[in-house]
């Protein structure tokens, strides 16, 4: 089905027990857009990611990927359809090399896990693709290093490599720069920009520096509702957003910067 949107959420609701956490969230993301989801603690950002990636089922509403419904599907089905979510660092194969980690991800997405002969035939393709990904995440010089021996920032880069290895066109990254120093963060934003070029990106992010450095559009989630979805400039100037969230966050960050 032709759709102008890579990802669309229509009146999505999610309750845990009697508590409604996502209260009719709607969002329409165009192909190639980079979107940051921001909002106060407990607003439902992670829950929204879990709903999109299929880890949680919806209470009601619809989620469409490239115009086709994906709500109700298993995470691996959604992944095969082109939506990839970053794995946690702990999901890296620590005792495999950087190259082998990427190659595993490539082979897995090629669907050759069990058929041995097909697996052998696919190895060349997988190696080529793994090389390509290694260069993109700038870890080609560390190809033979075990994942456990990488720096934290390199592990996060490897995690992104694994996420994009399957060629998904919609990428979800949950706080990709969390725990990094300022200079690492700056370099990492640039890496994310390059790696996701031409793809649709959704991030959950608390760091406003990252948000304004990376996002074409910002979605503000407050109490399970998207109260604004617009360019960074428009969101910054939106009085409702100022009142509900951004005013206090920006004031805090300015105060923190002034202290240093």
Ligand X SMILES: Nc1ncnc2c1ncn2[C@@H]1O[C@H](COP(=O)(O)OP(=O)(O)OP(=O)(O)O)[C@@H](O)[C@H]1O
> Which stretches of the chain bind ligand X, using CB under 6 A?
16, 21, 39, 41-47
Distance CA 226, CA 201 (A): 17
Mention every residue, 6+ apart, whose C-beta is less than 8 A from residue 72. Answer: 57, 58
Distance CA 43, CA 250 (A): 18
The least CB distance from residue 207 to ligand X, in Å, is: 12
Mention every residue, 6+ apart, whose C-beta is less than 8 A from residue 16. Answer: none
* Closest to ligand X by CB, 195 or 204: 204
The least CB distance from residue 55 to ligand X, in Å, is: 10
* Closest to ligand X by CB, 39 or 54: 39
- Three-state SS sequence of 60-80: EEEEEECCEECCCCCHHHHHH
The least CB distance from residue 42 to ligand X, in Å, is: 4
Tokens of 233: 């400039």
The least CB distance from residue 203 to ligand X, in Å, is: 12
* Closest to ligand X by CB, 79 or 245: 245
Tokens of 87: 């794995």
> Do residues 180 and 61 touch, judged by C-beta distance below 8 A?
no
The least CB distance from residue 20 to ligand X, in Å, is: 10
Hunting for tokens 């929204």 — which residue is that?
A: 48
* Closest to ligand X by CB, 43 or 104: 43
* Closest to ligand X by CB, 237 or 250: 250
* Closest to ligand X by CB, 149 or 248: 248
Coil, helix or strand at residue 55: coil
The least CB distance from residue 39 to ligand X, in Å, is: 6
> Do residues 23 and 225 touch, judged by C-beta distance below 8 A?
yes
């Amino acid at each position: 089905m032709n759709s102008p949107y890579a990802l669309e959420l229509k009146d999505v609701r999610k309750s845990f027990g009697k508590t409604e956490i996502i209260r009719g969230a709607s969002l329409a993301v165009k192909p190639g857009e980079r979107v940051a989801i921001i909002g106060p603690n407990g607003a439902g950002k992670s829950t929204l990611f879990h709903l999109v990636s299929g880890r949680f089922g919806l209470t009601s509403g619809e989620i469409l990927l490239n115009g086709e419904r994906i709500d109700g599907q298993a995470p691996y089905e959604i992944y095969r359809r082109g939506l990839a979510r970053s794995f946690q660092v702990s999901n890296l194969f620590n005792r495999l090399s950087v190259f082998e980690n990427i190659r595993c991800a490539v082979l897995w997405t090629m669907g050759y896990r069990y058929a041995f002969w097909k697996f052998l035939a696919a190895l060349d393709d997988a190696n080529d693709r793994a090389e390509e990904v290694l260069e993109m995440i700038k870890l080609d010089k560390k190809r033979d290093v075990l994942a456990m021996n990488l720096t934290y920032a390199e592990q996060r880069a490897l995690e992104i490599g694994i996420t994009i290895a399957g060629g998904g066109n919609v990428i979800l990254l949950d706080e990709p720069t969390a725990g990094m120093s300022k200079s690492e963060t700056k370099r990492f934003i640039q890496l994310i920009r390059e790696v996701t070029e031409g793809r649709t990106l959704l991030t959950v992010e608390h760091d406003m520096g990252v948000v304004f450095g990376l996002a074409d559009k910002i979605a503000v989630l407050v109490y399970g509702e998207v109260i604004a979805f617009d360019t960074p400039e428009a969101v910054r100037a939106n009085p409702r957003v100022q009142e509900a969230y951004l005013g206090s966050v920006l004031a805090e960050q300015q105060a923190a910067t002034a202290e240093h």
